[in-house]
Structure 1
Amino acid sequence: MKKTTFLGVAALTAATGWVARAAWGIPTQMGASRNEVQPYAALSPRYRDRKFHNTEPSSNFTPAAPGADSGLLKSLASRGSAGRPSSPIPLDTSAAPVDAGDAAVTWYGHSSVLVEVDGYRVLADPVWSKRVSPSATVGPARLHPAPVPLPSLPAVDAIVVSHDHYDHLDLETVKSLTRSQKAPFVVPIGIGAHLRRWKVPEERIIELDWNESTTIGDLVLTCTEARHFSGRSLVRDSTQWASWVFAGPKHRVFFGGDSGYTERFKNIGQTYGPFDLTLLPVGAYDVRWPDIHMNPEEAVRTHADLNRGDATRGVFVPIHWATFNLAFHAWSEPVVRLGTAAAEAGTTVVIPKPGGRVDALAKTPGSTWWEHLS
């Protein structure tokens, strides 16, 4: 065999092996099929034509949207450097307090948070895997490690999911929590089908539609509206997406999960607010998809809407930034813009390191730890 032929066969074999490794486990990662979801989703009045819908329709992805800093190809080429910090992201590896507080949150990166409300603990959108992708070798990877091992978390009272995108619902994390925790998974309607496929016991699955609630002791968890979409494959919107209200006897926390700005947040504020603590997404925005991810200025506006027009009430902790490079903006741009907008509105913002805990009632100012990484 000629040397060039041998090298060609070797390269083809290596490429085939890489593709096989990249594709390994993808069907399981994708979760339930639309047909498996359908019997549960069809119970919702918001499910029409085999899909869920936003109250305010969202515009489609626009590659050359007016206001884009550059063309899509140029943005893709510069994404790697712009979307990463200049040096390693510092972590806070402190252990959780023995007793849950009245209104506090520990941010583990992206949208993964451990919320404390009147002595209860809610783990929301937990993602501990290296990548947020159906593939273990291809797709957005972490910019920092998980601050603490998942099994080291304290016992929680509920595990909440906002929607089924890979950066909010992670198979390996679900498997680990099924083993290490006893709490129910409280999810938007349709997502239970993914959990059933992944062997979560039926008695630990609670599915809710918008404005439906479940109670765990004195804690009320309410599924509320968001402006987003869902899907773990080419099929979109077969499961519901949501934000969440966690209400104890004395304190309330709002968890935004992932959403574009919507006037519907004013209704949520009037019905369920005001809030001691809001956890709102500030990253992965772009003018090419303006309606599904809010920008920092819209997040400040949302905080005010949720607090019945009072931007100065409560504490705002930003989520959905710093951990995965999912857009074209610079790594720290979300919190830089957030700081400016919050100062103008009089909103108290605290930005913890990944793993850091914020006590909303103490209103202790956070450091500007991200500045030297910009």
Structure 2
Amino acid sequence: MITFLLIITLFAIAFWGFMQQPKFGKAPSGERLKLILNSPQYKNGKFENQNYTPDLAEGVTYYSLFYDFFFKKAPRKKPTDLIPSIKTNLLELPLDHDVLVWFGHSSYYLQLAGKRFLIDPVFSGNASPVPGTTRSFKGTDIYTVDDLPEIDYLLITHDHYDHLDYETILKLKPKTKKVITALGVGSHFEFWGFPTENIIEKDWYNQVILDPNLTLYTVPARHFSGRSFKRCNTLWTSFVLESKDFKMYLGGDSGYDSHYKEIGEKYGPFDIAVMDNGQYDEKWKYIHNTPEDVINALKELKPKRVLPVHSSKFVLALHPWDEPLKRITALNTNSENPLPLITPMIGELVELRNEKQQFKQWWKEVV
């Protein structure tokens, strides 16, 4: 009995020590917490979605979820082959070129109206606080922070590890002019040494005027947040990025809900929509879009083209690694009004204003 208690005590001490690491960030406090408490989205001691959003679907338990993930056989969760990629020289891209470069999952770089943006970058090769547990696919890590130019605006949709990566953020600190994110997330950045004056935090339906030709809006998503045991103490968001003659919907992680229609009516139509399309499951259908959800959302957002993301880099669900791209392609082809799909390889240059740019279905060549 004494030995058992000693083991439990040592484990508790080790776990406590592990949780003190700076990668877990810091909960909002002080003036930031006062702003949070005044947010219409903050209710019952936490941020909430516009409509009731359970973590898991009806009848699903966390026990069954963990059992399936760790013991159930799920074929082709990871590719056997290398994920193909292209190494574009981002340091020499002319700033007057409006382009986008995808890094896999939900990380991408874009240039619009003479400004450089970086969205949810993860370059550490891991999407978990526990080293080696959620490794990136082979071939997806050809870019590092050193390959990036100076960033005008670092956009962070929420504070989950596959979107807010501690190692990457620290390396980006000297290259980043401004951070724009949702309420509360700035607490992590301050804790990690970013100057307070360089952090912009907004509630839903707020705007940030970047310059006379460029405006950013923070808009709803249907998701959740949290980097440790406390959930939803920071807000999650999507963005609308608008210049005088070009408009983009930059979707964060989200399940389908009425917010897509609201965003489409208030800000749309869009030239390009970036959509969460991967790591889904019927067990958590309220917080991640299925490809069918994406098709429905596109009818409401009304973009000219769509870039499906949140796939092809990490295993965070049990579906085959290439299923999100296969399903969205098939559904879009058979839809009433099919849209041009933007499906670049990692690193391939996407020309934002070229509606006729073609992309091959590169996943078909990967086992």
User: TM-score scaled to structure 1, two decimals?
Assistant: 0.86
CA pair 71-245 structure 1, distance change in 2 beyond 3 A: closer
Secondary structure at 2:103 match in 1: strand
Whether 1:207 aligns to 2:197 is: no
> 2: CA distance between counterparts of 1:20 and 1:207?
34
Secondary structure at 1:302 match in 2: helix
Aligned residue pairs total: 349
Contact kept, 8 Å, 1:103 with 1:251, in 2: the verdict is no
Contact kept, 8 Å, 1:103 with 1:252, in 2: the verdict is no
Match of 2:351 in 1: 359
Secondary structure at 2:233 match in 1: coil
Whether 1:318 aligns to 2:298 is: no
Match of 1:174 in 2: 169
Query: 5+ residue gaps in structure 2?
Result: 1-6
Match of 2:365 in 1: 372
> 1: CA distance between counterparts of 2:65 and 2:187?
39
Match of 1:93 in 2: 87
Question: Which among 327, 335, 338 is matched to residue 328 of structure 2?
Answer: 338
Contact kept, 8 Å, 2:28 with 2:187, in 1: the verdict is no
Match of 1:124 in 2: 119
CA pair 44-64 structure 1, distance change in 2 beyond 3 A: closer
Question: Which among 126, 134, 146 is matched to residue 129 of structure 2?
Answer: 134
Match of 1:32 in 2: 26
Match of 2:4 in 1: none
Contact kept, 8 Å, 2:256 with 2:297, in 1: the verdict is yes
Query: 2:339 is aligned with what amino acid?
Result: T
Match of 1:76 in 2: 70
Contact kept, 8 Å, 1:133 with 1:166, in 2: the verdict is yes
> 1: CA distance between counterparts of 2:286 and 2:320?
20
Secondary structure at 2:142 match in 1: coil
> 2: CA distance between counterparts of 1:110 and 1:79?
23
> 2: CA distance between counterparts of 1:360 and 1:323?
23
> 1: CA distance between counterparts of 2:280 and 2:176?
35
Secondary structure at 1:314 match in 2: strand
RMSD: 2.6
Query: 5+ residue gaps in structure 1?
Result: 1-11, 308-312
Cα shift readout 1:157-198 (whole Å, capped 9, x = no counterpart): 21000000000111111111112x142000101001111111
Secondary structure at 2:190 match in 1: helix
**1:20 positional shift:** 6.4
**1:122 positional shift:** 1.3
> 1: CA distance between counterparts of 2:113 and 2:305?
16
CA pair 79-252 structure 1, distance change in 2 beyond 3 A: farther
Whether 1:195 aligns to 2:186 is: no
Cα shift readout 1:210-259 (whole Å, capped 9, x = no counterpart): 01111222211111000000000111000000010111111011111211
Secondary structure at 2:314 match in 1: coil
Contact kept, 8 Å, 2:120 with 2:164, in 1: the verdict is yes
Query: 1:373 is aligned with what amino acid?
Result: V
CA pair 71-289 structure 1, distance change in 2 beyond 3 A: closer
CA pair 141-317 structure 1, distance change in 2 beyond 3 A: same
Identity %: 30
Runs of 4+ more than 4 Å apart: 19-26, 34-37, 62-66, 78-81
CA pair 21-129 structure 1, distance change in 2 beyond 3 A: farther
**1:65 positional shift:** 4.8
Contact kept, 8 Å, 2:277 with 2:291, in 1: the verdict is yes
Query: 1:229 is aligned with what amino acid?
Result: F
Match of 1:5 in 2: none
Whether 1:227 aligns to 2:219 is: no
Query: 1:316 is aligned with what amino acid?
Result: V
Cα shift readout 1:290-348 (whole Å, capped 9, x = no counterpart): 110001121122222112xxxxx411111100111000100100000000111123111
Contact kept, 8 Å, 1:285 with 1:295, in 2: the verdict is yes
| More divergent stretch after superposition (297-306 vs 268-277) | 297-306
CA pair 185-113 structure 1, distance change in 2 beyond 3 A: same
CA pair 142-80 structure 1, distance change in 2 beyond 3 A: farther
Query: 1:151 is aligned with what amino acid?
Result: D
CA pair 52-74 structure 1, distance change in 2 beyond 3 A: closer
Query: 2:167 is aligned with what amino acid?
Result: E
| More divergent stretch after superposition (355-364 vs 83-92) | 355-364
Contact kept, 8 Å, 1:123 with 1:160, in 2: the verdict is yes
Secondary structure at 1:235 match in 2: coil
Match of 1:348 in 2: 340
**1:103 positional shift:** 5.0
**1:40 positional shift:** 3.8
> 1: CA distance between counterparts of 2:312 and 2:27?
31
CA pair 285-118 structure 1, distance change in 2 beyond 3 A: same
Secondary structure at 2:334 match in 1: helix
Secondary structure at 1:288 match in 2: helix
Whether 1:241 aligns to 2:241 is: no
| More divergent stretch after superposition (35-44 vs 157-166) | 35-44
**1:22 positional shift:** 12
Query: 2:207 is aligned with what amino acid?
Result: S
